[in-house]
Amino acid sequence: MKRHAAPIVAFSGMDGAGKSTQIEQLQACLDRRRIPNVCCWSRGGYTPLFNLAKQTLRRMPGNTLPPAGHSERRHRALRKPWVRRLWLTLSLLDLGFLYGVKIRWWRLFGKLVICDRYLPDTRIDFQLNFPEECVDSWWLWRLMERSSPRPDLGFLMLIPVEESLRRSLLKDEPFPEMSERLAARRECYRRVERAQSWTVLDGLRPPDDLFAEIRRSLEPLLPDGNDAD
């Protein structure tokens, strides 16, 4: 089957659900088959250009930016409407460049693009962290959404709240979410499950079983219809 551009495979879902493990296995299989690929991690406010801008500003004399990570100083800054809206606007612009330009460029030149998180994850982040802004009603969000390519294959990985918390603690995550926030996040992902035609994967299943399902789903998208093994 001929394709004008390489496929996009997206992984979304709960922290600790096993996205990184599946992506690593997928990249290893593609590398063995010499299928060009690139992995793109994205999350609103933490994209490469935005991170570079923040790092540069923090090194400048007279820097007033709060340090990286969660802090009371950062929380106070984002309580100011103009700071919050500027932060969100810059986040959306950088996401729009990543999705609308870089991903399209990679796939145009034959690279299968693996997205570690995609639009649903950032939408949920913004809904939970900035409920007063209703970011998904902004014209800039709608523009970014329309300019972003639709994944050819999407996987939504879910696990129970207690298991997500347990795995985050095992991985020694620097800023783990608490149970209440994780429960709200999981409910948001459940709404994504109902709204999108992505394949839902139970992160409690053995990783090899999950990858076998991912590999079968990917098979028709590979060059000449070959298996990803």
Q: What is the mean predicted confidence (pLDDT) over 116-126? A: 94
* Chain mean pLDDT for the chain: 86
pLDDT beyond 50 at 12: yes
Give me the pLDDT at residue 1, please. 39
pLDDT band of residue 80 (cuts 50, 70, 90) is confident
Angle in degrees, CA 184, 96, 110, rounded to 5: 110
Mean pLDDT throughout 46-67? 63
Amino acid at 101: V
Q: 51 or 145: whose pLDDT is higher? A: 145
Q: DSSP string covering 26-58, please?
A: HHHHHHHTT--EEEEE--TT-SHHHHHHHHHHH
Q: What is the mean pLDDT of residues 3-14?
A: 86
Average pLDDT over residues 19-37: 96
Strands 153-158 and 112-116: unpaired
pTM over 0.75: yes
Count CA within 13 A, CB hemisphere, residue 13.
26
Q: How far is the CA of 141 from the CAs of 49, 120, 138, 198, 214, in angstroms?
A: 18, 12, 5, 21, 30
pLDDT for 2: 46
Can you name the residues that pair with 158 across neighbouring β-strands?
202
Cα distances (angstroms) measured from residue 210 to each of 40, 115, 160, 164, 214:
21, 17, 17, 17, 6
**Over residues 126-139, mean pLDDT:** 93
Q: Identify the band that residue 128 occupies on the pLDDT scale cut at 50, 70 and 90.
A: very high
Domain ranges of the chain: 8-59+71-225
The amino acid present at 156, given as its one-letter code, is: L
The pLDDT of residue 157: 96
Query: Worst-scoring range by mean pLDDT, 43-52, 66-75, 152-161, 168-177?
Result: 66-75
**How many residues can be counted in the chain?**
229
pLDDT above 50 (res 28) = yes
The per-residue pLDDT for range 99-120, each reduced to its tens digit, is: 999 999 999 999 999 999 999 9
pLDDT of residue 57: 54
Convert the pLDDT of each residue in 190-227 to its tens digit: 888 877 789 999 999 999 999 999 999 999 988 764 55
The dotted CATH code for 8-59+71-225 is 3.40.50.300
Q: Residue 144 pLDDT > 80, yes or no?
A: yes
Statement: residue 147 has pLDDT above 50: yes
